[in-house]
Amino acid sequence: MTIADASLPLQKAILSALKTANIAGQRIYDAVPAPPVFPYVSFGPFDVLTDEADEYEGSDATIQIDGWSRATGSVEVKQLGRAIRAALHGASLPLDENQRLVALTVSSVRYTNDPDGLTSHAIVTVRARTEPSA
C-alpha cells in the first residue's frame, strides 16, 4: 500500500509552481532566512487527513501559504495573495513519490497587518486531494 501522506510531494510541486510564476521574485521559503528580503512567500502549517479503504490510501491536505510585505499600504501584499491564488487554484501539478493530485483549490485568502506595525501578511489556504498513482 502506498503511503498517503503527500505533504512533501505537494510542497515540492507547490514550490515549483510558485517559482515558475516568479512570485515574490522567487523568494519562497520553507525556512525563512534572517534577515529576510521582502516581499517573500513562506510555507505555513500543513494538515493531512488520510482516507483509507481496501487497498487504497488517499489524503486531504490543507496547506497555508504566507505572503509577506513591508511596502507601505496593502497593494503589494494583495498582489502577492492574488498571484499565489492564480498560480495554484485549479492547477494540475505533477507529484512524485507515487502520488497523484486529484484536485487543488484555494479556499480562502486573508490579509492582515502584523503587530509589528511594519509587515503586511497574506494568508492563503490551499486544499489538496491526493491519491496513490501506482
pLDDT at 85 over 90: yes
Question: What is the average pLDDT value for the chain, to the nearest integer?
Answer: 93
Cβ-contact 61, 87 below 8 angstroms: no
* Residue 126 CB burial class (10 angstroms; 0-12, 13-18, ≥19): buried
pLDDT at 56 over 70: no
Q: What is the pTM of this model?
A: 0.93
Domain boundaries, given as residue ranges, for the chain: 1-35+52-102
Cβ-contact 51, 57 below 8 angstroms: yes
The strands making up 56-69's β-sheet, listed across from edge to edge, are 28-29, 40-53, 56-69, 120-132, 99-113
Cβ-contact 88, 128 below 8 angstroms: no
Average pLDDT over residues 97-114: 96
Banded pLDDT at 2 (limits 50, 70, 90): low
Spatial distance between the Cα atoms of 91 and 104, rounded to a whole number of angstroms: 6
Average pLDDT over residues 49-53: 79
